[in-house]
Amino acid sequence: MNRIWLEHYPKGVPAEANLGRYQSLRDVFESSCTRFHDLAAFTNMGTSISYGELDQLTAQFGAFLQQHAHLNPGTRVAIMLPNLLQYPVALFGTLRAGMVVVNVNPMYTARELRHQLRDSGAEAIVVLENFAHTLQEVLPDTAVKTVIATRLGDMLSLPRSLLVNFVVKHVKHMVPEWKIEGAFDWAHVLERGAQHRLHEEPLGRDDLAFLQYTGGTTGVAKGAMLTHGNMVANLLQTSAWIGGVLTEGAEIAVTPLPLYHVFSLTANALFFLLWGADNHLITNPRDMETFIKEIKHLRFTAITGVNTLFNALLDAPSIHEVDASALKIAVAGGMAVHRSVAQRWHEVMGVPIIEGYGLTEASPIVCANPLDVEEFSGNVGLPLPSTDISIRDETGRELGICDVGELCVRGPQVMKGYWNHPQETARALEPDGWLHTGDMALVNTEGRVQIIDRKKDLIIVSGFKVYPNEIEEVATMHPGVLEAGAIGVPDAHSGEAVKLIAVPRDPTLTQAELMEHLRKHLTGYKVPRQLELRGNALPKSPIGKVLRRALRDEEAARRPAQAV
């Protein structure tokens, strides 16, 4: 596809990013630690560490892996942590030691954790002790030899660290009993590492930085092999896109999404490090009262999130106490932003939500809206510099402007392949570098990309294609609806029919009222045949994306019982 989007690039954004600036993430890290040595790098629960301190702590952590754990370059190190100060120390310490990071969702079940550790071949893991009991259960089935356990308050200032650790364990009872023979304590690891010098192995663009596992919502989770070159390219592409509104060493970013997720990993942990920002880590964004308490007087300049998070913030009674006067950018990814949420956010916070698009296999950012957008457009913007896109039909033929097909991507941010899955790699990656995203999309006359839906979530009603995103967005336009998920269910007449599961914001909302709203805004075959109002929240991914697969599984499990 011709790069028609270049004609609509914001002023000053180049067609190609300067990808030769850094050879590895270690180069990015060391440059930032030198340039911003005395500035705060990461803040969590009232404690900050500077870039200089981060440099020292990561060197200690990396030296421990090399000298005490005796791990070699390229060894996989799993990090099973929420957003704590320990996370960036473990992350950059592992990368500086020439090893590969395997991000792990701390909420994983034993089955999920066992699969990821075994598939990745991780030989070491850093785990919050709240989740160590799960690790204990699967450890004998893995190659993990070194376990580093840490507590929630281990890197907080005294006496807060002691208080937090005591309350978490003895008052809130958030730490189930666990025992792993030979596990190292976090403080002990840093003390031992301080006795040695970190040996920095040569690192280049083709060396692996991450095995970043997909969410597993479309099957067994696979590890996307993301190289240092992939990650550095995406940082520089993104920097070329939005850098014009940022000031080095002056930004304050809020990070509520988990850093183990690729969106937050790149857009927050790595990107704001490049810019010398103070990155405020929110450990539990679901605790909205505490979240708002942490940021309401912060005068933050940037925040990232997903539709459900922004919606929850707006619904919080204390949102009007937040000082958003310094806010420059609010960036959304991971799932579609609903128009109602975008409009409310702009009204309350004074800046638009800048929606983008990406996927794990692309490190992850592919497209983004310009920062000067004044209103919600419903599209995910233009391809980033040095990125090509193509819309293909089921035979692989390239389609034209405004035709709906599968979005394919090519660029320096596209992964090397799937770890230990050559057949899956061959299905996703063409020999010439084109990545099949599995997302249905169109490109308009200005080169702007509109994501229609996931290819596998498509509902076919009497031969007509129905996209769940559209149904969900229409449903949440109703002021009485908090969130919604649309799936396809078997139907004797139409093959499939739409079922909508909605969580009311207003407890007085009736099915009849919502159906009237849906009929008003949807053509006949798109109107749900089945409607369920649910009192509890819908199943979601770690970043808050509604899991339609889980809804389909629930429906499938219920169906035989209904037929009896």
Average pLDDT over residues 151-155: 98
Q: Which of 360, 385, 410 is the last residue of a domain?
A: 385
| Helix, coil or strand: residue 244 | helix
Structure confidence at residue 220 as a pLDDT band (50, 70, 90): low
Residues facing 496 on adjacent strands: 490
**Sole residue written with tokens 């950012």:** 365
Last residue of a domain, one of 363, 385, 407: 385
β-pair type (208-213, 223-227): antiparallel
Assess whether 332 and 469 both reside in one domain: no
Number of domains in the chain: 2
Q: Is residue 348 part of a domain?
A: yes
User: Domain containing 520: what range?
Assistant: 458-563
Question: φ and ψ at 315, to 5 degrees?
Answer: -80, -15
How many residues appear in the chain?
564
Instruction: Give the separation between CA 483 and CA 481, rounded to whole angstroms.
Output: 6
pLDDT at 218 over 50: no
The answer to whether 214 and 224 are in contact (CB under 8 A) is yes
In a domain? residue 409: no
The answer to whether the CB of 269 falls within 8 A of the CB of 279 is: yes
The predicted pLDDT at position 217 comes to 32
Average pLDDT of 155-161?
A: 95
pTM: 0.86
CA distances from 171 to 112, 132, 165, 178, 363 (A): 29, 19, 10, 17, 40
Q: DSSP letters along 445-499, please?
A: TTS-EEEEEEGGG-EEETTEEE-HHHHHHHHHHSTTEEEEEEEEEEETTTEEEEE
Give me the amino acid identity at 421: H
Cβ(253)–Cβ(44) below 8 Å? no
User: In the structure, what pLDDT confidence band is assigned to residue 215 with cuts at 50, 70 and 90?
Assistant: low
Q: Which long-range contacts (CB under 8 A, 24 or more apart) does 294-299 make?
A: 294/45, 295/254, 295/322, 296/321, 296/322, 296/323, 297/323, 298/252, 298/254, 298/323, 299/252, 299/323, 299/325, 299/326
Chosen domain end from 368, 385, 402: 385
Q: Are residues 312 and 214 in the same domain?
A: yes
Residues 212 and 309 occupy one common structural domain:
yes
User: Tell me, what CATH number does 234's domain have?
Assistant: 3.40.50.12780
477: in domain: yes
Average pLDDT, the chain: 94
Q: 561 in helix, strand or coil?
A: helix
Task: Tell me, yes or no, whether 360 and 479 share the same domain.
Answer: no
**Range from 189-193, 448-452, 518-522 that averages highest in pLDDT:** 189-193
Specify the DSSP element, H or E, that contains 175.
none
- pLDDT of 238-287, one tens digit each? 999 998 899 999 999 999 999 999 999 999 999 999 999 999 999 999 89
Q: What is the mean pLDDT of residues 431-453?
A: 94
Amino acid at site 372: D
Say whether both 467 and 376 belong to one domain: no
Question: Stretch 333-359: mean pLDDT, rounded?
Answer: 91
The answer to whether residues 245 and 251 touch, using CB atoms and an 8 Å cutoff, is no
Q: Classify residue 8: in a domain, yes or no.
A: no
| Residue 397 within a domain | no
Identify the CATH number of the domain in which residue 545 sits. Answer: 3.30.300.30
Residue 461 has pLDDT above 50, yes or no: yes
- 464 confidence band (pLDDT: 50, 70, 90): confident
Q: How far apart are CA 43 and CA 335, in angstroms?
A: 27
Higher pLDDT: 380 or 523? It is 380
Q: Is the dihedral of CA 418, 420, 421, 422 positive or negative?
A: positive
Give the pLDDT confidence score for residue 485 in this predicted structure: 96
Q: What is the DSSP string of 252-280?
A: EEEE-S-TTSHHHIIIIIIHHHHTT-EEE
pLDDT at 300: 98
Mean pLDDT to the nearest integer, 416-429: 94
Bridge partner list, 125? 78, 147
Judgement on whether residues 373 and 467 belong to the same structural domain of the protein: no
Q: Residue 407 above 90 pLDDT? A: yes
pLDDT average, residue stretch 437-443: 93
- Residue 228: phi, psi to the nearest 5? -60, -40
| Within-domain flag for 167 | yes
- The string of pLDDT tens digits covering residues 367-381 is 999 998 888 888 999
193 or 221: whose pLDDT is higher? 193
Q: Is the pLDDT of residue 227 over 50?
A: yes
C-alpha of 415 from chain center: 16
Residues 377 and 479 in one domain: no
Domain-located, residue 411: no
Q: Average pLDDT in the 416-421 region?
A: 95
pLDDT greater at residue 354 or residue 218: 354
Region for 126 from its dihedrals, namely left if φ exceeds 0, alpha if ψ lies in -120 to 50, beta otherwise: beta
Half-sphere CA count of 205, side-chain side, radius 13 A: 14
Residue 165 in this model has a pLDDT that exceeds 90: yes
Q: Are residues 485 and 362 in the same domain?
A: no
Considering the domain architecture, whether residues 367 and 471 belong to the same structural domain is answered as no
Residue 562, pLDDT above cutoff 60: no
299: left (phi over 0), alpha (psi -120 to 50) or beta: left
Say if residues 490 and 555 touch (Cβ distance below 8 Å). Answer: no
Other Cβ atoms less than 10 A from the Cβ of 375: the count is 9
Q: Is residue 446 part of a domain?
A: no
First to last CA, the chain: 53
| Same-domain pairing of 369 and 488 | no
In a shared domain, residues 252 and 344: yes
Does the pLDDT at position 36 exceed 60? yes
Do 165 and 256 lie in a common domain? yes
| Sign, Cα dihedral of 344, 368, 269, 263 | positive
Residue type, 103: N
